[in-house]
Amino acid sequence: MSTRNEKIAEILHDLGARFLSLNGNKSSLITVTRVNLTRDGKYATIFFTVFPDNFEKTALEFAKRKRSEFKKFIKENSRLGRIPQMDFEIDSGEKNRQKIDNLLNQG
């Protein structure tokens, strides 16, 4: 990833975390784990985890429903010229890493 795209991904990571924190219903903890930005910068996916796990589906539906509001939030809180098409996904890789850590710590 280019330095420019890394900076954009970092900005989107920060703004995604702030947006979900401000707009969430506080019944679950949503943590942005990473941002995947395409090479051309046109598409970005924000990956996050949810605690407790049983709120994942609700949190994902909420985040996807709020995509247009999130783009507006990015415009108001950054100086990005071209804002990529945004999407949200559950970070299953991070979930698997946490499960492995728990298993290793039990032994």
Q: DSSP character for 85?
A: E
Of 26, 18, 7, 21, nearest in space to 80 by CA: 7
Q: Among all chains, which residue has been given the structure tokens 């985040």?
A: 63
Which domains are delineated in the chain?
Answer: 3-106 (3.30.300.20)
Provide φ and ψ at 63, rounded to 5°: -60, -45
pLDDT 10s digits, 31-71: 999 999 999 999 999 999 999 989 999 999 999 999 999 99
pLDDT 10s digits, 70-81: 999 999 999 999
